Amino acid sequence: MARIFWFIQTGVIAVIVTLTAMMVVRLIVDATDPNPFGWTARTVRRLSDWLVVPVRGGLRGFGIDTKFAPLVAILIVILLGFFILSLVSTIATTIVGVLLGLQTGAFVWVLGFILYGLLSLYNLMIFVRIIFSWGGVSYTNRLMRFLVDATEPLLGPLRRVVPPLGMWDISPIVAFLIIWLFQSAIAGTLLRGAPFHQF
């Protein structure tokens, strides 16, 4: 499992570095303002437009200068890479813990690792929902609809109980705290004595 995780982690980091380098080159080409019909400018645009054009449309919707699209694209790529690595780490830790519990006959560990993994996944879903909402992803998007439907059973009641701070909804922060408390309780009870390895 560690080797598989290393392979996925290396692949994701390689993609992040490649896309970041591509966006830096795009920034340099845009800043130097070469002949738009020259080979360099056309090639760089052809390679990077699939990522820059949607970001540029999103920035235009917020009234932000579209020349920052490559920088925002870099941030999006890094965030998506972080989400993927966190998800893979959560799944790998849960699988290894469950297998360890089954091998040793410690079925309490199996239950503990499953619950801990599900809470970590839920935490990640709330975090992705926050980032998507900041990015203006609407409920009509299939992934956003799934995230809202999955996380609203916790965030909805919290939103009614916890007042916003000005224009900021702090219910996700309270949700993170609640999930952390449950994970701490699971680690201190069901997973007591388990070799708790985080990838």
Residue 15: band (very low, low, confident or very high) from pLDDT cuts 50, 70, 90: very high
pLDDT band at 198 (very low <50, low <70, confident <90, very high): low
SS3 of residue 63 by DSSP: coil
Q: Is the Cβ–Cβ distance between 68 and 27 less than 8 Å? A: no
- Residue pair 56/74 in contact by the 8 Å Cβ criterion: no
Residue 6 to residue 144: CA distance in whole angstroms: 29
DSSP state, residue 67: G
Is there a contact between 45 and 71 (Cβ–Cβ < 8 Å)? no
- Per the prediction, the chain carries an average pLDDT of 88
Instruction: Read off the pTM.
Output: 0.73
Residue 161 to residues 67, 149, 158, 164: CA-CA distances in angstroms?
41, 19, 5, 10
Q: How far is CA 155 from CA 162, 179, 192, in A?
A: 10, 12, 30
pLDDT in tens, 32-45: 877 778 888 889 88
**Which CA distances in Å does 21 have to 57, 65, 71, 154?**
22, 22, 11, 39
Over residues 150-173, the pLDDT tens digits come to 999 999 999 999 888 877 888 999
Q: Distance between CA atoms of 10 and 12, rounded to whole angstroms?
A: 6
The CA–CA distances, whole Å, from 68 to 21, 23, 72, 94 equal 15, 11, 6, 39
